[in-house]
Structure 1
Amino acid sequence: MTGARPDRDDLSVLLELAAPAGRDVLDVGCGLGTLTRELAAAGARAIGMEISPERAEAAAAQDAAGVATYVAGRAEALPLGDATMDAVVFMRSLHHVPGELMDAALAEARRVLRPGGVVYLAEPLTEGALFALIRRVDDETKVRELAQAAIARADGAGFERAATVEYDRRMRLADVAAVRRLVVGVDPARAAAFDASVDEIARDFEALGEPDGDGGGRWFGQPMRADLLLVRPAAR
């Protein structure tokens, strides 16, 4: 536990706040689709979206049972019709949208939502051991701050805040190679910077992580803030 924040996993907070069962849910920036499939397992009609057809196809290839749908698109130009979704999920993805397009991304989420729909945003804060470990390769301080500012302005996109929950997401990393897979998997362009700093990262790995008691691995905490935004009812 970090400070007053409870240790929580991402899925439990999302299920608690957004209640996706029986709803049409878009997972923006789905990666390989792990969360998309978890949403489907929880009873949602889930769509995972990635930035390119190749990435969408890679996510679909992980879904042997075909429990979800995968599409290519950008957060600021969603490939969906008006009022077709009940929930739009940004799981650590809003800060990857260019800062000048974050407001447009939230406006697009509003466009595709039905009345009574919700946007769920879980964003990492600029603190914690995992942030400090990765910061040497890619300092996300500015983009994370821009994401929080965009969320704070969301009332301008037709939303009202229903809930905010802060929690500590803990991750076990077996070794420095696991750190590289995590960092480069999010953005392959980070590979060169990682490799150039690998000795320093190895020292940070030992200094910042908590030993797991099972030999070699370390635990790293990442404080998170989750916001649930409701579509504001139309004025009468």
Structure 2
Amino acid sequence: MLQDPTNQYIATILSHCDIRGKDVLEIGCGKGRITRDLAKYARRVVAVDPDACAIDYARTSFYANNVLFMQALKGVPDSSIGNFDIVIYTLSLHHVPETEMSKSLLSAAALLGKDGTIVVIEPGDGGSFTEAKERFGAGSGDERPAREAAIRNMLEMNGWTMGETIAFRTQFRFDDDDDFLSSMLPNYPQQPESFVNDVRRFLEQHRTADGIILEADRRLNVLRPSEYVNSHD
């Protein structure tokens, strides 16, 4: 599987938040796919994830002098790693339990310097990849309730203002059916044959000369301190 082959994440981030020369904390870095793009522009990137296996993979697959990968069991690291100019949630806020979302955002805000910024990238509603998640339970499955909870918590964040929603679309490229099944539905051998055949028929609709290409809508929101927003109105 190749995620975001056309680099839409970094293009959208750069269009709406200047990370050049900044200290960036990435929350939910996973295996570091977006981290490597952030590192090209930021002064420093601390990339954290609660998944130890993902962090180990990221460390062994990508190295840069300005990047530090860390496991953060609670999602947001403690203040001992210093302050940042920007915090970026990389498709991670909706994975935080709803009762902890507000706390996570406020903990992230506490790691920012003056006029710091929080960027939240979340799944959108459309796209063939999103359909596969909701229809077949691929990957992390149907995330609609969690996505809605993430939006509510951003809107209700005390002392912070959420900017407009920036919509964009990214791709997932799979070599063939087996690549999709092993990556997104690892338990498919235990599924009924009819289910697997339904998945294969779905994938056939998205087969190209470059493999199977599925698309996913994404949304980006920039959160700033309300006093900063009011002073710049």
Distance in structure 1 (CA, Å) of the matches to 2:160 and 2:82: 15
| Secondary structure in 2 matching 1:20 | coil
The CA distance in 1 between the partners of 2:152 and 2:192, in whole Å, is 33
Query: Structure 2: any 5+ residue segments left out of the alignment?
Result: 1-5
SS in structure 2 of the partner of residue 103 of structure 1: helix
Match of 1:20 in 2: 19
Query: Which residue identity is paired with 1:225?
Result: R
User: Which piece of structure 1 moves more, 53-62 or 164-173?
Assistant: 53-62
Letter in 1 for 2:219: R
Q: TM-score, normalised by structure 1?
A: 0.80
Q: Does the CA contact (< 8 Å) of 1:83 and 1:111 recur in 2?
A: no
Mapped partners of 1:41, 1:72: distance in 2:
22
Q: CA deviation at 1:82?
A: 8.9
User: Are 1:78 and 2:77 matched, yes or no?
Assistant: yes
Q: Would the alpha carbon gap of residues 101 and 172 (structure 1) be closer, same or farther in structure 2, given more than 3 Å must change?
A: same
1:37 deviation in Å? 2.1
The alpha-carbon deviation at position 22 of structure 1 amounts to 0.9
Name the counterpart of 2:177.
Answer: 176
Q: Residue 27 of structure 2 contacts residue 75 of structure 2 at CA under 8 Å; is this kept in 1?
A: no
1:225 equivalenced with 2:192 (yes/no): no
Residue 204 of structure 1 is matched in structure 2 by 199
Question: C-alpha root-mean-square deviation of aligned residues, in Å?
Answer: 2.8
Decide whether aligned partners of structure 1 residues 66 and 202 sit closer, same or farther in structure 2, where only a CA change above 3 A counts: farther
Superposed CA deviations along residues 100-121 of structure 1, whole A, max 9, x for unmatched, are 1111111111111111111111
Q: How many residues align?
A: 219
Contact 1:124 1:224 in 2 (8 A): yes
Distance 2:14 2:74 in 1: 22
Identity across aligned pairs (percent)? 21
Q: Which amino acid aligns with 2:50?
A: I
SS of corresponding position for 2:227: coil
